[in-house]
């Protein structure tokens, strides 16, 4: 099965970490890296990003859906 997205490079990982550290939103990071939010969450987990990063965006995603 062929992937439609390129693999993660060390440069992508460094940029991702830097953006998270600087407080960029999930959508900003996704656009900058041309990835889906799901890919970001998976890669963040693989890289060992702090759990608070995932919780922060889960909470934001839920609040955005509320009327």
- Report pLDDT digits (tens) over 7-31: 999 999 999 999 998 888 889 999 9
Question: Is residue 3, in this structure, part of any structural domain at all?
Answer: no
**How far apart are the C-alpha atoms of 3 and 51, rounded to whole Å?**
27
What percent of the chain lies above the pLDDT cut of 90?
43
pLDDT band for 49, please (50, 70, 90 cuts): confident
Question: Is residue 4, in this structure, part of any structural domain at all?
Answer: no
CA-only gyration radius of the chain, Å: 12
Closest CA relative to residue 16, chosen from 51, 49, 38: 49
| Domain span at 45 | 10-65
Question: Is residue 45, in this structure, part of any structural domain at all?
Answer: yes
The domain total for the chain is 1
Alpha helices in the chain (DSSP H): 10-21, 26-33, 37-47, 51-65
pTM of the model: 0.72
């Amino acid at each position: 099965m062929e992937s439609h997205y390129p693999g993660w490079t060390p440069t992508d990982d460094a940029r991702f970490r830097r953006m998270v550290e600087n407080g960029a939103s999930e959508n900003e990071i996704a656009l900058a890296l041309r990835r889906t939010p799901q890919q970001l969450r998976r890669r963040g987990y693989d890289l060992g990003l702090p759990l608070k990063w995932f919780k922060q965006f889960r909470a934001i995603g839920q609040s955005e859906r509320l009327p």
